Amino acid sequence: MYDSNPTLTGIKTIDESKQGSVLFKEQWEASHLPGSRKFYIESYGCQMNFSDSEIVASILADVGFAPTRNVEESDLILINTCSIREKAEETVRKRLRFFETIKKARPGTKVGVLGCMAERLKKKWLEEEQLVDLVVGPDAYRDLPSLIGGTEEGHRMINVLLSREETYADISPVRLESNGITAFISIMRGCDNMCSFCVVPFTRGRERSRDPYSIVAEASGLFEQGYREVTLLGQNVDSYKWSNPETGESVNFARLLEMTAQVHPELRVRFSTSHPKDMTDEVLHTMARYENICKYIHLPVQSGNSRVLGMMNRTYDRPWYEQRIEAIRRILPDAAVSSDIIAGFCSETEEEHQETLSIIEWANFSMSYMFYYSERPGTLAARKYADDIPEEIKKRRLNEIIRLQTAVSLRHNQADIGKTFKVLIEGDSRKSDLEFCGRNSQNKMLVFRKQDGLKPGDYVMVRVKDVSSATLLGEIVEG
């Protein structure tokens, strides 16, 4: 995934610098006090990127860097990027222009691009964006010390090599911007699904699952530190599968969910993201058995039309998706389901758009992430299909989807008025320090007035009094 003979003067690949990584660490530790240099990191895109940034923070801490929220005092600026949509790339380029002013004001500051855009654009960052000093793909974070060492010597460094084994299972993440109550745990990396619109298989590589015992150990450690909720992360958690070649032991996602739920009854367990083709009844029954496995499933549909789903290479059709929703309703009648939806995919007709609107109503999604189609270079769709829906039509269809989902979300929430939910207090509400906020099992945010003696991390029973399309408003009641 990288060129061992780069044509750009001053750029080194990881093979050229790897032999100096141990020496760099020794020299660094000898010449710098722990935490004497600071790094600043911004993360964009999916929850996996934010989780990766916590892994990066741990690796940097081992060589003496301390995190800072003030970019102007940083010695190393990192931006962890997403390539899913064009807008994300535009945002990153604007931020790099801003970081250029920091570099001018603070000579010696280094800037690095991490994550999916780093892998997709590779040396282009170093050739076109002269302010970038290092480019590091999602599987190369262990090599950050040696890459930083190369920049200290005046080189611009790159490693975007993808791996079939890397899971960072042995690295304890540094929880950045943490509320001390909720945390993400990465359980797998990469994706094998090859949806035609998606760059993830090309930027994050093939799917591989992390040792379940390291996941359970991380969850146990978080609980001991006071965390009360973990979210198991993967591009497609339902395809999680780990096996021990020596003993023959095998762990699928249903078993991993159970193992994590058994850490402690007061540790809530969530997960994201599920794929309709892999969501099994076994997973649903496991969720039903454990009160602390949250009754919420993010199940992206992308389109409500079977022909469009076929072009997207989603490997299911509308009837299959409906069958999965029906199974959720049967086994987990109190569960909430959310979704991802793409408007204006290649050749989508008005009738097919109407089918997407109809499945929002039928499935009764509690909420959705909604976008119009953005062609990504290198994907199957970019190679095979014409991006032939005019932007104004894409935007109009997206607005119709948003309006409908907002109405469905409001009705979904109105059905909760008068109900009482167990809520994990996460902190103060955004609007008032007289109120707490927290989520119920269905992943809905509740806001309610504080009571003496309660604190973040406590569970309370809250009765819903009023709602908006996004929030439930309630009052604490006796359990």
Crossing angle (nearest 10°) for helices 144-152 and 47-61: 70
Count other C-beta atoms under 10 Å from residue 374's C-beta: 17
What pLDDT is recorded for position 11? 34
What pLDDT is recorded for position 131? 73
d(CA 426, CA 177): 13
What pLDDT is recorded for position 86? 67
Token duo for residue 140: 């190369």
Q: Where are the beta strands (DSSP E) in 18-149?
A: 37-43, 65-67, 76-81, 110-115, 134-136
Average pLDDT, the chain: 89
Q: Which of 73-82, 282-291, 329-338 has the lowest mean pLDDT?
A: 73-82
On the question of pLDDT at 162 being above 90, the answer is no
What pLDDT is recorded for position 6? 27
Closest CA relative to residue 51, chosen from 125, 120, 114 = 114
pLDDT tens-digit readout, 106-150: 888 999 999 877 777 776 766 665 778 999 988 999 999 999 999
More confident of the two residues 45 and 253: 253
Q: Where are the domains of the chain?
A: 11-159, 420-477
d(CA 242, CA 255): 10
Contact 374, 86 (CB under 8 A): yes
Per DSSP bridges, beta strands 37-43 and 65-67 are parallel
Sequence length of the chain is: 479
What pLDDT is recorded for position 468? 96
Question: CATH: 3.40.50.300, 3.40.50.10420, 3.40.50.12160, 1.10.10.10. Which one for 11-159?
Answer: 3.40.50.12160
- Give the mean model confidence (pLDDT) for residues 191-205: 88
**Which long-range CB contacts under 8 A does 71-74 form with residues at least 24 apart?**
71/40, 71/99, 71/102, 72/102, 72/105, 72/106, 73/38, 74/38, 74/39, 74/40, 74/102, 74/106, 74/109
On the question of pLDDT at 23 being above 60, the answer is no
d(CA 435, CA 429): 6
d(CA 12, CA 392): 44
User: How does residue 89 score in pLDDT terms, banded at 50, 70 and 90?
Assistant: confident
pLDDT tens-digit readout, 408-441: 999 999 999 999 999 999 999 999 999 999 999 9
On the question of pLDDT at 13 being above 50, the answer is no
Cis peptide preceding 260, ω within 30 of 0: no
Closest CA relative to residue 280, chosen from 249, 253, 259, 251 = 253
CA distances from 390 to 55, 304, 369 (A): 41, 20, 21
User: How does residue 46 score in pLDDT terms, banded at 50, 70 and 90?
Assistant: confident
pLDDT tens-digit readout, 343-399: 999 999 999 999 999 999 999 999 999 999 999 888 999 999 999 999 999 999 999
Of the chain, the percentage scoring pLDDT greater than 90 comes to: 69
pTM score, two decimals? Answer: 0.86
Closest CA relative to residue 352, chosen from 403, 391, 301 = 301
Q: Which of 40-54, 206-220, 317-331 has the lowest mean pLDDT?
A: 40-54
pLDDT tens-digit readout, 221-268: 999 999 999 999 999 999 999 999 889 999 999 999 999 999 999 999
CA distances from 102 to 40, 108, 122, 131 (A): 12, 10, 23, 10
Measured in whole angstroms, the distance separating CA 467 from the mean position of its chain's CA atoms is: 27
Token duo for residue 213: 């015992």
User: How does residue 85 score in pLDDT terms, banded at 50, 70 and 90?
Assistant: low
- 156-182 as b/e, with b when 16 or more CB fall inside 10 Å? bbbbbbbbeebbbbebebbbbeeeebb
Token duo for residue 463: 């009765």
Task: Please tell me the class of the 420-477 domain.
Answer: mainly beta
What pLDDT is recorded for position 258? 98
Contact 264, 304 (CB under 8 A): no
What pLDDT is recorded for position 24? 40
The enclosing H or E element of 82 equals none
What pLDDT is recorded for position 125? 67
Contact 371, 343 (CB under 8 A): yes
